Amino acid sequence: MRTQVVIIGGGPSGLLLSQLLYLNGIENVVLEKHTKKYVLSRIRAGVLEQGTVNLLNKAGLGKRIKNEGFNHDGIFLSVKNHSFRIDFKSLVNKTVTVFGQTEVTADLYSVVEKDKGRIINSAKNVMPCDILTNKPYVTYEINGLDKKITCDFIIGCDGFHGITRQIIPKNKIKTFERIYPFGWLGILSETCPVNDELIYANHKTGFALASMRNKNLSRYYIQTSINDKVEMWDDDRFWFELKKRLPKDASERLVTGPSIEKSLAPLRSFVVEPMKFGNLFLVGDAAHIVPPTGAKGLNLAFSDVNYLYESLIGYFKNDDKNAIEQYSSKALNRVWKTIRFSWWMTNTLHKFPDQTEFDQKIQEAELDYLKNSIDAQKSLAENYVGLAF
């Protein structure tokens, strides 16, 4: 088989890039090692920046987001069980949209699958080859048969543990990493959300986040030890700890119920440079990870998609051979700004294992300053709603 672009990874970033290229007449194939059912079963965050929504509109996928998404004009921050609001609309005249990542992926599948053969699920043992030549190719196995696709470019949208970054020689890339000494325990419950906008809570016993998927589906998180296991947290223990950390008024109106999903995720900041090696490009989690504080993971992956899509359009449509060389520097410029913001949010809101009373007082002073400074609020708002692509 021959195509122009092979995309390894059929998550939201791989599918979105595929659709944008397809709409511009650029042939591509997506290889996904899992089944469609498995991909759509993954629970992920659902706060979309305006740039992300604009890009999905460009791909023809804005209708359901517009009809079913929830526009949020701000967020609440809480310290010592009292909250204050950051008003995005008045500060920077922008908003964010709450719409589940799983729903975004489902919509992307629906359009990509219309072009038969463009996505190949259950593709095993995928391997990029000859990426330093002008004739790269990808091998894989499907239904016990070995297959090969030749192409011009290979795109790694296969996540942090994927094969694409692993095949780059260690002496050709540089990695930067910060491992955080705690995790997030999250639950999904069929209860009405405690608030109509997200609440980020700093508390002396640890961080908490109140979020939602829709009017009858709530998503809550609490900071836990990195050594904890999901089995250590039954629902009663989770709700007790969440109530303790939320602002008092929210805690009093919190509706609890059985969890329908529960998971524990570690937190890290990770970046690899460059995001291009030969004719292989890295996108999203294959190149960088942000802690979920600030809801940047999907949005940052989509900004990569935007830069790479524009680079490939320049190469294939405008005969601009230099366009693809600009991808890594453009993407990394925004990546590091987003890494910085997520790092700041994480450090300001979480309790670290070696944290002293002095450190807690500094966090409280930081949040009090934010509460009373319009300039500080504007900076937070500008970053939270998303820097321009």
- pLDDT beyond 80 at 44: no
Chain centre to alpha carbon of residue 186: 16
Q: Catalytic pick from 12, 128, 136, 292?
A: 292
Vertex 194, ends 362 and 85: CA angle to 5°? 45
Q: Is 72 among the catalytic positions?
A: yes
Q: Catalytic pick from 72, 276, 350, 351?
A: 72
Percentage of the chain surpassing pLDDT 70? 99
Region 63-78: mean pLDDT is: 94
pLDDT per residue as tens digits for the range 276-323 = 999 999 999 999 999 999 899 999 999 999 999 999 999 999 989 899
Q: At 45, is the pLDDT very low, low, confident or very high (cuts 50, 70, 90)? A: low
Question: How many CB atoms are closer than 10 A to CB 220?
Answer: 25
pLDDT per residue as tens digits for the range 211-268 = 988 888 999 999 999 999 999 999 999 999 999 999 999 999 999 999 999 999 999 9
Contact 79, 247 (CB under 8 A): no
Structurally, at CATH architecture level, domain 5-71+97-176+268-345 sits in: 3-Layer(bba) Sandwich (3.50)
Contact 242, 208 (CB under 8 A): yes
Q: At 358, is the pLDDT very low, low, confident or very high (cuts 50, 70, 90)? A: very high
- pLDDT beyond 80 at 43: no
Alpha-carbon distances, residue 164 vs 285, 315, 358 (angstroms): 11, 22, 44
Q: Is 82 among the catalytic positions?
A: no
- Residues β-bridged to residue 158: none
Percentage of the chain surpassing pLDDT 90? 90
Q: Catalytic pick from 22, 140, 200, 327?
A: 200
CATH 2.60.120.10 fits 180-267+352-384, yes or no: no
Which residues neighbour 280 within 8 Å (Cβ) at sequence distance 6 or greater?
A: 128, 131, 136, 153, 154, 155, 156, 164, 167, 168
Q: Is 292 among the catalytic positions?
A: yes
Q: Boundaries of CATH 3.30.9.10 in the chain?
A: 180-267+352-384
Q: Boundaries of CATH 3.50.50.60 in the chain?
A: 5-71+97-176+268-345
| pTM exceeding 0.75 | yes
Confidence (pLDDT) at 62? 87
Structural tokens at position 133:
């030549």
Q: HSE (CB half, 13 Å, CA atoms) of 189? A: 20
Q: At 40, is the pLDDT very low, low, confident or very high (cuts 50, 70, 90)? A: confident
Looking at the chain, which runs of residues are DSSP E strands? 5-8, 28-31, 47-48, 70-72, 74-79, 82-87, 96-98, 119-120, 124-129, 137-142, 145-150, 153-156, 174-189, 199-202, 208-214, 217-225, 259-273, 276-277, 280-282, 288-289
Weakest-pLDDT range from 112-116, 248-252, 353-357:
112-116
pLDDT per residue as tens digits for the range 197-211 = 999 999 999 999 999
Confidence (pLDDT) at 116? 87
- pLDDT beyond 80 at 369: yes
Region 316-342: mean pLDDT is: 95
Q: Catalytic pick from 203, 276, 296, 351?
A: 296
pLDDT per residue as tens digits for the range 147-200 = 999 999 999 999 999 999 999 999 999 999 999 999 999 999 999 999 999 999
| Parallel/antiparallel/unpaired status of strands 47-48 and 96-98 | antiparallel
> What is the pLDDT of the chain when averaged over all its residues?
95
Confidence (pLDDT) at 41? 83
| Parallel/antiparallel/unpaired status of strands 259-273 and 276-277 | unpaired
